[in-house]
Amino acid sequence: MSGSPPPTGGFVRRVGLFQATAINMSQMCGIGPFVTIPLMVAAFGGPQAVIGFVAGALLALADGLVWAELGSAMPGSGGSYVYLRQAFQYRTGRLMPFLFVWTAMLFIPLIMSTGVVGFVQYLGYLAPDLGRTSGDLIGLGVIALVILLLWRGIEHIARITAVMWVVMIASVLLVIVASASDFSAHLAFTYPAHAFDLTASHFWLGFAAGLTIGIYDYLGYNTTAYMGAEIKDPGRTLPRSIIFSILGIMVIYLLLQIGTLGVVDWHRMTDPHDIASTSVASAVLEETWGKGAADTVTVLILITAFASVFAGLLGGSRVPYDAARDRVFFRPYAKLHAKHRFPTLGLATMGVITAIGFLIGRHTDLATLIQLLTTVMVLVQALAQILAVTVLRARQPALRRPYRMWLYPVPSIVALVGWLVIYGYADKNSPGRHPIEWSLAWLLLGCLAFVLWARVEKVWPFGPKEISEEYLTSREAEPAEA
């Protein structure tokens, strides 16, 4: 997370294009597609739900080009934290990177809580008599187990990630192959009346909900941008890893979505009492290869869900630690465990928020939880980062940009419109939940926290601004991309 270029003796650039693309894809495809296909069908009201995955991919591509330009120009470790600090330091000091960390403290564990909700949903297939209270306790137990494993200190993390990748790929491929073995085009491509009526308000309401679910499923396409200090030839590798991973996952998701719709009647996915609404992959395997195969794949999905929460909290807990160590967040978050050397307060805080998010998702619905986490992300990360591209082009025109956004500013505008649609329709898609108001309240609370922190640290607005343009003087020149 350091805002500076990698120092001598620090990170080593060892990650090439193939590894970078695989890292992005492994973060993008966890439990998400196994729990969101019914949500997407419900949002659109039929098998035309594939529109949501395509729209999500287009938004991810447009936003990915924002990440690509910023990441290739400032290939340190830290992602948004670095970009926002560099772009907005001239007027607001450390406010924007502080707010990014503040919001990350909420949206990262909320993303992890969706994995726990998915875990309990699929466990319900193996244990159909599982009650709400029992499910709540099991989910909280899963979170506690993850925290306990991480609290003890984990060696050989790469092996755990590799196992997660293999299990996830096996789960997805088994569902795709099973659906192809008994595919019905009539089920997959028979649409209800007025399914594509672009003049109807309900179509655009469903589109906004589907776009929200779609971009949630693609989250992770920017993972390599956070690893900029470890990427070989970042000017070329970062943009390609982002684009290739999005296109690859789009193909996987479309095969999964269309294949599922060709086996399971979409009406079943909208029935809360049908197993297809909570464990659709299990329903596909049961319809095609029988109950034994469905049980096996369900176990693989449970492993995928657990591993994704484990990996997410492992990385997420480091965000406030790195920021505090760089004097952009509260100092207690910079403390490490005396023996195992992991950030105790960051892990504990995110564990508690993950548990709260899980209970919110269980006692409302998964769509509401996804709406809350995407709404929180929009203001500080998505919209501010889109603006950062333009600000940096004006403020630091001499900044080395090995990759410059194609057709600038069109991708920025497309990404801006997409995120604004998600944000603008949030309250309508979650009636009575008020995600917009909650996101604004969290942002306001973050501003108040910044004022208190800035006063203690004696930085702007209670001290001088500290302008750092280290990437302008960095010696790591990258060849311009054609």
What pLDDT, in 10s, does the model give residues 330-368?
999 988 887 777 788 999 999 999 999 999 999 999 999
Beta bridge partners of 287: none
Cα–Cα distance list, 429 to 44, 167, 204, 205, 227 (Å): 12, 33, 11, 7, 34
Query: In a 10 Å sphere around its CB, with 0-12 CB exposed, 13-18 middle and 19+ buried, how is residue 363 labelled?
Result: exposed
d(CA 40, CA 208): 11
Chain segment 233-259, per-residue pLDDT in tens: 888 899 999 999 999 999 999 999 999
Identify which of 345, 365, 367 has the alpha carbon closest to the alpha carbon of residue 425: 367
Average the pLDDT over 16-40 and give the result.
86
In the predicted model, what is the mean pLDDT of the chain?
Answer: 88
Chain segment 360-397, per-residue pLDDT in tens: 999 999 999 999 999 999 988 899 999 999 999 999 99
Cα–Cα distance list, 257 to 287, 297, 445, 446 (Å): 16, 17, 39, 38
Residue 432 gets which letter from DSSP? Answer: T
Chain segment 419-452, per-residue pLDDT in tens: 999 999 999 999 988 999 999 999 999 999 999 9
- Output the pLDDT for position 77: 66
Beta bridge partners of 227: 77
* Percent of the chain residues past pLDDT 70, beyond the cut: 93
d(CA 162, CA 37): 25
Q: Quote the strand ranges of 200-310, DSSP E.
A: none
Angle between helices 95-126 and 435-457 (to 10 degrees): 130
Classify 19 as helix, strand or coil. Answer: helix
- Output the pLDDT for position 118: 94
DSSP assignment string, 351-366: HHHHHHHHHHHHHS-H
- Output the pLDDT for position 157: 56
Query: In a 10 Å sphere around its CB, with 0-12 CB exposed, 13-18 middle and 19+ buried, how is residue 209 labelled?
Result: buried
d(CA 42, CA 47): 9
Classify 260 as helix, strand or coil. Answer: helix
Classify 402 as helix, strand or coil. Answer: coil
Question: What pLDDT band is residue 12 in, cutting at 50, 70 and 90?
Answer: low
Count of CB atoms within 10 A of residue 341's CB? Answer: 8
Query: In a 10 Å sphere around its CB, with 0-12 CB exposed, 13-18 middle and 19+ buried, how is residue 449 labelled?
Result: middle
pLDDT surpassing 90 at residue 140: yes
Cα–Cα distance list, 439 to 56, 87, 420 (Å): 21, 23, 14
DSSP assignment string, 106-172: HHHHHHHHHHHHHHHHHHHHH-TT--HHHHHHHHHHHHHHHHHHHHT--S-HHHHHHHHHHHHHHHH
Sequence-distant (≥ 6) Cβ neighbours of residue 199 within 8 angstroms: none
Q: What's the number of CA atoms in the CB half-sphere (13 Å) around residue 110?
A: 22
Sequence-distant (≥ 6) Cβ neighbours of residue 303 within 8 angstroms: 164, 167
Identify which of 333, 350, 315, 453 has the alpha carbon closest to the alpha carbon of residue 106: 350
- Output the pLDDT for position 45: 93
Classify 77 as helix, strand or coil. Answer: strand
Angle between helices 410-424 and 50-73 (to 10 degrees): 130
pLDDT surpassing 70 at residue 121: yes
pLDDT surpassing 50 at residue 19: yes
Tokens 């410059």 sit at which residue?
404
Tell me the domain boundaries of the chain: 19-463
Residue 481, φ and ψ in degrees, nearest 5: -90, 135
Residue 8, φ and ψ in degrees, nearest 5: -60, 130
Question: What pLDDT band is residue 476 in, cutting at 50, 70 and 90?
Answer: very low
pLDDT surpassing 50 at residue 7: no
Rounded to two decimals, what is the model's pTM?
0.89
d(CA 482, CA 479): 9
d(CA 435, CA 368): 8
Angle between helices 32-44 and 280-288 (to 10 degrees): 100
Are 173 and 279 within 8 A, CB to CB?
no
pLDDT surpassing 80 at residue 13: no
- Output the pLDDT for position 480: 42
Instruction: Answer whether CATH 1.20.1740.10 is correct for domain 19-463.
Output: yes
* Percent of the chain residues past pLDDT 90, beyond the cut: 64
Which has the minimum average pLDDT: 208-217, 339-348, 455-464?
Answer: 339-348
Rg, C-alpha atoms of the chain: 22
- Output the pLDDT for position 101: 93
- Output the pLDDT for position 268: 95
Identify which of 236, 223, 235, 238 has the alpha carbon closest to the alpha carbon of residue 401: 235
d(CA 302, CA 307): 9
